Amino acid sequence: MNPLNHVAIIMDGNGRWGMKYKNSRNAGHKAGLNTVEKIIKETIKNKIKYLTLFAFSTENWKRPKKEIDYLFNLLENFLLNRIEDLHKKKIKLKILGSKKFSPKLNKLLNNSEKKTSKNSKLQINLALNYGSKSELINAFKKIKKNKKAITEKNIDINLQTKKIPDPDLLIRTGKTKRLSNFLLWQLAYAEIFFEKKLWPSFNEKDYNRIIKEYKKIKRNFGKI
C-alpha cells in the first residue's frame, strides 16, 4: 500500500456546475466551497499531512471583474468565519502564489498564516494567484542572485513549496485533462487522477475511491 502524505487538487468545474443548476457561475463557486469543507474533513480522517488546493491561477485574472470580485469576497468571508475553527482543528494554512490582493485581504491572509503557523495536524496550501512558471522563474532568479549552482536541490529550496514534500496524488475534477500551470516541477512523479465530476458535485465517496485506487498503484520512480 502506498503511503499518502500529500494530495493536490485542481478544483475545476464550479462555473459549469453553477450554469447548469443555478444559471449563475458564481453560484457554482459558492457551492464549491462546501466541497472544500468536505474534502478538508476527509483529508484529516485519512491522516494525510498536506493538502494543496488550486483556488486561483495567475491566468484567472483574465476573467470578468465581477466573477473575480465574487471569488475573493467568498474567500475573505470564508477566512473570517472559519479560521478560528481551522486553528482549533490544528490546521496550518499556507498561501502559495503572490499576495497581490486588496490590502484588507492581504492582511487577512498574512494573519491567518501567522495564527496557524505552529499547527501540525494538516497543512493546507492554498494556491492563490499562483502560476508554476512564474514560481520557477523566481526560483531561478534567486539562485542566480545568490550565485549558486542550478541543481535539483537548489531549485527545490527556492520554490514556494520548500519544506513541503512533493504531492503523491493529483486530482483534477471537471473533465479536462490538463495541468493549467499548476506545480509543474513538483508533480514530476505524482499519480494523476482526472475526475469527470464538476467540483461542487465531488464528494467524500469520490475522494475515498481515488485514495483507495492510488494506494494500489505500483509506483516505480524509474525502478522496476
Looking from the CA of 3 toward its CB, the CA atoms found within 13 Å total: 6
For residue 186, the partner it binds in Mg ion, ligand IPE, none, with Cβ less than 5 to 8 A by kind, is none
Q: Does 56 bind ligand IPE (CB under 6 A)?
A: yes
Q: Does 72 bind ligand IPE (CB under 6 A)?
A: no
Grid cell listed for 153: 536541490
Residue 97 in contact with ligand IPE, rule: CB under 6 A: no
50 near ligand IPE (CB under 6 A): no
Regarding 203 and contact with ligand IPE (CB under 6 A), the answer is: no
Q: How far is the CB of 145 from ligand IPE (least distance, A)?
A: 30
Catalytic residue among 60, 138, 181, 203: 60
Q: Is 199:173 a contact under the CB 8 Å cutoff? A: yes
State the SS3 of 146-194: CCCCCCHHHHHHHCCCCCCCCCCEEEECCCCCCCCCCCCCCCCCCEEEE
| 93 touches, from ligand IPE, Mg ion, none (C-beta below 5 to 8 Å by class) | none
- Which residue lies nearer to Mg ion by CB, 25 or 92? 25
Please tell me whether residue 15 binds ligand IPE under the rule CB under 6 A. Answer: yes
Q: Is 36 helix (H, G, I), strand (E, B) or coil?
A: helix
Binding of residue 178 to ligand IPE (CB under 6 A) = yes
Residue whose Cβ sits closest to ligand IPE: 15
Q: Residue 164, interface with ligand IPE (CB under 6 A)?
A: no
Residue 112 corresponds to which cell in the numbers above?
Answer: 491567518
Residues 22 and 180: beta-carbon distance below 8 Å: no
CA 199 to chain centre: 13
* Interatomic CA distance for residues 71 and 58, integer angstroms: 14
The residues annotated as belonging to the active site are 12, 60
Q: For binding to ligand IPE (CB under 6 A), which residues are involved?
A: 10-16, 54-57, 60, 71, 174, 176, 178, 180
